[in-house]
Amino acid sequence: MENILKLENIGFRYGDKPVLRQINYSFEPGKIYGIVGKSGSGKTTLLSVMSGLAEPSEGRILCRGEDLTARDKYIYRSRDIGVIFQNFNLLTKLTAAENVELSLELSLRSAGQKADPKELYSRAYGCLREVGLGQEEADRRVLKLSGGQQQRVAIARALSYNPECILADEPTGNLDEHTQKEIMEIFRRLADSGKCVIIVTHSSYVAGSADRCIELQQINHLQ
Ligand SMILES: Nc1ncnc2c1ncn2[C@@H]1O[C@H](COP(=O)(O)OP(=O)(O)OP(=O)(O)O)[C@@H](O)[C@H]1O
Ligand SMILES: [Mg+2]
């Protein structure tokens, strides 16, 4: 199976403090990957590097065989990958649907396409429906949605422009077991539809539901 993302000898330092060292991994479509490891082992850092928000100090990332350093990171983030942040990063004063529409509009613009308001509207509602949110919730301000519902909006937003790869940081943190299960069912459906889903997690349930798990080891700074 062809790789979507490939990490080659990735290293990362904050100043002179090494956080990631020699990470080699390939990610295929249609699978769920769990990234696990102790707090401080560099999971969020790795996700930032993979989403083009931070440059690796060593090594390279290939997306469909193309070196990320040669790519416009903005376009990469608005088309190839969908990122779900731990704190959701939603615009809380806007409605759920407006959050999804905005992300879709930015993605279309980055591809030089015009965004027809009617199409934006119907696609946003479609994405929200896919994650189990109806019209009433879609039209509610994000601030007035529950944590689990906001999590769904963050997933819908990442899905809005149909990226091949979804990167999520602790997407089930602070959720009850039942909601966690429902969120994992959404990720499983996405993987079954051919997406590559990469999830950073501390949850043994989420890690156990993944097809593959990558464990990051804390680097001993005195080495
Ligand atoms: N901007 C920064 N500047 C300096 N050090 C940082 C910065 N961000 C993170 N670190 C450090 O890098 C290490 C890895 O952090 P990271 O957030 O990637 O860990 P993590 O595995 O995601 O942890 P957690 O499970 O607690 O979320 C930690 O020691 C952290 O303190
Ligand atoms: Mg983290």
Task: Name the 3-class secondary structure at 167.
Answer: strand
Per-residue pLDDT of the chain (223 residues), as tens digits, is: 689 999 999 999 999 999 999 999 999 999 999 999 999 999 999 999 999 999 999 999 999 999 999 999 999 999 999 999 887 889 999 999 999 999 999 999 988 888 899 999 999 999 999 999 999 999 999 999 998 999 999 999 999 999 999 999 999 887 889 989 999 999 999 999 999 999 999 999 999 999 999 999 998 765 5
Q: Is beta strand 5-14 parallel, antiparallel or unpaired with respect to 17-27?
A: antiparallel
CATH number, domain of 136, equals 3.40.50.300
The response to whether residue 39 sits with its C-beta less than 6 Å from ligand 1 reads yes
Structural domain contains residue 221: no
The response to whether residue 203 sits with its C-beta less than 6 Å from ligand 1 reads no
Using most ligand atoms within 8 A of CB, pick from 17, 21, 44, 202 the residue to mutate for ligand 1. Answer: 44
Using most ligand atoms within 8 A of CB, pick from 10, 12, 13, 19 the residue to mutate for ligand 1. Answer: 19
* Rounded-to-integer distance, Cα 207 and Cα 191, Å: 15
- Of the ligands numbered here, which is closest to the C-alpha atom of 43? 1
* Rounded-to-integer distance, Cα 186 and Cα 152, Å: 9
Task: Name the 3-class secondary structure at 10.
Answer: strand
Structural domain contains residue 148: yes
Rounded to the nearest angstrom, the distance between the alpha carbon of 19 and the centre of ligand 1 is 8
Q: Which residues pair with 63 in a beta bridge?
A: 5, 66
Tally the domains of the chain.
1
Structural domain contains residue 75: yes
Q: Which residues pair with 198 in a beta bridge?
A: 33, 167
Residue-level pLDDT at 223: 52
Ligand 1 atom 29: residue of nearest CA: 40
Residue-level pLDDT at 72: 93
Q: Which structural domain range is residue 52 located in?
A: 5-215
Residue-level pLDDT at 86: 82
Structural domain contains residue 72: yes
Structural domain contains residue 203: yes
